[in-house]
Structure 1
Amino acid sequence: MRVFLVQTAQGLTPSSGGYKANVNLLRSLSSQGHATAQICYAVESEIDQYARRAEIQGIPPNVTHEQLPVVDKEGFVHDLFIKTFTDEHERNDLSLRMKTLIALFSKHITDFKPTHVIFNDPITMKITASHKDRKSFKRINIIHTAEQLPFGPFVAGVDGHCLSPRVENDMLRDLDGIWSVSMAVKDYAWTYGRLTTTFLVHPPMTYLDKVTGGMPVVRNNIDKYEIGMVNPCPHKGLPILVALAQKFPQMTFVTWKSWGSRTAHIAQLQALPNVKIEPTTKNTDEIWDRIKVLLAPSLWHEAWGIVVTEAQLRGIPVIASNAGGLPEAKIGLPYCIPVKEVTGERHANGDYVVPDQDIGPWEEALAKVMTDREEYQALQALTATKAGDWLCGLDPRAHEKWLLSMMKAEE
């Protein structure tokens, strides 16, 4: 196969779970002998870094440079800087610095001659529908959030998602495959749109140690004292975090900003003396080496919650909500606490209206894990063992088989 991915995240190593799932799909397919490429946004330093890493592995990065003049809507001419290179996983990358250009996307799809084009944005869905080589490749959309889908209570609930619901709804029905990253997303697509999708867990490579390629190192963080949360914002459970920090002033909480964290949300945390705020990190080992417990109190229809799975594989207990796909990410481990999910109603600033929550179960679980050493040790061992067994039980070729089945269907 020749698999071409259109990546809309900003940068070659964003912290979002959706990006990790996308890029590790390509890495998995590349390791299985298939040709892969992606088009993405990047900064100069990232390209240099990836090229050096490829050279260390004995792979020529073959960096090329191209400059394309682009006229904006005001009539001014800008230069679009394009670089192509091969990374350490032998995946070809094309990096951009400006908005997606239809002609550019089409050109590189043509040049690569893919058997499959994979994307999670409506622009590429439209581009590939009318591409001159449309009949020569399969079109696959990855659904990372309910907000991507053009129907249901959460349609367009996140900036940049679902630009034209009616048009996108029609286009989705014409795809060769749709990958839902959880049963929660698959069920949502069917319930609200009668849209058939395929559920596949993220490729196992998503969760392996990024340096060694082996199983993640299990931490022994019983003597750590910080309680962590990633991406503090209302629909990710910011009200629960604030309530817990106020309830336990003797405990230390640390948060890592991410795509949902706005200035107003950070201001709420800055008002709490026992909460630390860290910048977005692309190296999650910084988190796992530091915290004793992870909070994942999401209140929206979470697709999966990669950060939950990552923590559990390292033996770090996670106290999570039961919103969306989080119970799937928890794989039956304690604690998974019922919450009142957002309904889709939003404030004027775009934030979801968050229902009042029962904090009692959160207080009880956190106090137990943070103060009872025997409880923590038992939960740490159970978490690492069960998560490790779960990962080892995944089929590393599931996505490959699914993509190949689309080609066999024509035979």
Structure 2
Amino acid sequence: MRVFLVQTAQGLTPSSGGYKANVNLLRMLSAQGHDVAQICYGLDLEVDEYAHRAKAKGIKPNVTNTILPVIDPKGVNHKILIKTFTDEYKVYNIRDELNDRMQALVRLFADRITEFRPTHVIFNDAITMKVTANHPNRSTFKRINIIHTAEQLPFGPFVAGVDGHCLAAKVEDGMLRELDGIWAVSKAIQDYAWTHGTLETKFLVHPSMTYMDNKTGGMPVVRNNIDKHEIGMVNPCPHKGLAILLALAKKFPDMKFVTWKSWGTQKEHQAQLIAHPNIQVVPTTTNTDEIWDRIKVLLAPSLWLEAWGIVVTEAQLRGIPVIASDAGGLPEAKIGLPYCIPVKTVTGERHANGDYVVADQDITLWEEALTKVMTDGEGYQGLATLTATRASEWLNGLDDHAHEKWLLSMMEEKN
């Protein structure tokens, strides 16, 4: 197979769980002997770092630089720098600068697809869905959309609930139904697609490589964080359960909380966080070891239809207990481990600014779970051991060829 991925967010060192899974799908397919490439946004320093790592593994990065001239609707000339290189996983990367020159990017996507001659094009955005539908070589490749959020789908209560998602619902609905495959990353997303849109999807857990240690490629190192004192949360914002975090910080002023900003964390949310002296706010990180080496327990109090919750799985594989809500796919990510607490999830109702309306939450069970994990040393050690053991068994039980077999099956179907 020749698999081409269009990555619409940071594609080299993505902090978002969904985009991290996209990259690792390519890496796994490459390890299984298939030719893979991605087009993504990136920084020069990232290209240099990845090229260096490729050389260290005996792979020639073959870095190239190309200038793509662009004339915007006002007649102003612009230049987009395009870099290509092969990384340590033998993934061919086409990197461009972040910009809003849409027509140039559409042309770039189409041209690169032509050059790579893919058997499959994978994406999770409407632009690529349209580009591939009208591509002159359309009959030569299969088109697959990855659904990472319910907001991507053009129907149901959460349609267009996140900026940039689903800009033309009726059109996108029609295009979705013409695809060769739609990958739902959780049963929760699969159920949503069928319930609200009668849309058939293929449920596949993220590739196991998504959860492997970034440096060694092996199983993650299990921590022994019983002596740590901080409670962590990633991407604090209203629909991720910011209110629950703030309520817990107020209830337990002697406990220390640390949060990592991400795509949902706005200035007003940061202001709410730093108003509590026992909450520290730090920048987002692509090196999640910084998180796992620091915290004793992870909070995942999401209130929206969480697609899976990769951060939950990552923490559990390292023996770090997770106190999560039961929203969306989080129970799937929890794999039956404590704690998974019922919450009042968002309904799709929104404020005037577009944010979801978040209901008041009862934090009693959160208080009890947090008190138990943070104060019962023997109980914590037992839970940490159980967490690491069961998560490891779960990961080892995944079929590493599930995605490969699904993609290959499309080539066997009659057009």
Alignment of 1:96-107 (within 5 A): 96-97=96-97, 98-99=99-100, 100=102, 101-107=105-111
Find the counterpart in structure 2 of residue 306 from structure 1: 310
2:360 to 336, 346, 356: 356
* Structure 1 CA distance for aligned equivalents of residues 182 and 121 of structure 2: 12
Report the CA distance between 1:285 and its aligned residue: 0.3
Find the counterpart in structure 2 of residue 119 from structure 1: 123
Match status 1:22 vs 2:22: yes
Task: Give the stretch that moved more between structures: 133-142 or 8-17.
Answer: 8-17
Report the CA distance between 1:105 and its aligned residue: 0.7
* Structure 2 CA distance for aligned equivalents of residues 386 and 337 of structure 1: 19
Find the counterpart in structure 2 of residue 81 from structure 1: 81
Residues 11 and 19, structure 2, Cα contact 8 Å, conserved in 1: no
2:220 to 201, 216, 219: 216
Task: Provide structure 2 residue ranges, at least 5 long, that are not aligned to the other structure.
Answer: none
Match status 1:176 vs 2:180: yes
SS in 1 for 2:287: coil
Pairwise CA RMSD of aligned residues? 0.8
2:192 to 184, 188, 194: 188
Find the counterpart in structure 1 of residue 269 from structure 2: 265
2:142 to 117, 138, 145: 138
Find the counterpart in structure 2 of residue 201 from structure 1: 205
Q: AA paired with 1:31?
A: A
* Structure 1 CA distance for aligned equivalents of residues 187 and 257 of structure 2: 31
Q: AA paired with 1:35?
A: D
Q: Deviations over 1:135-192 (max 9, x none)?
A: 0000000000000000000000011111110000000000000000000000000000
TM-score by length of 1: 0.99
Residues 53 and 87, structure 2, Cα contact 8 Å, conserved in 1: yes
Report the CA distance between 1:374 and its aligned residue: 1.2
Q: Deviations over 1:359-385 (max 9, x none)?
A: 100000000100001110110010000
Give the number of equivalent residue pairs: 411
Task: Give the stretch that moved more between structures: 144-153 or 42-51.
Answer: 42-51
* Structure 2 CA distance for aligned equivalents of residues 60 and 378 of structure 1: 47
SS in 1 for 2:405: helix
Task: Provide structure 1 residue ranges, at least 5 long, that are not aligned to the other structure.
Answer: none
Report the CA distance between 1:10 and its aligned residue: 2.6
Report the CA distance between 1:349 and its aligned residue: 2.2
Q: AA paired with 1:175?
A: L
Q: AA paired with 1:169?
A: D
Report the CA distance between 1:96 and its aligned residue: 1.0
Report the CA distance between 1:11 and its aligned residue: 4.7
Match status 1:227 vs 2:231: yes
* Structure 2 CA distance for aligned equivalents of residues 81 and 165 of structure 1: 32
2:299 to 277, 295, 299: 295
SS in 2 for 1:3: strand
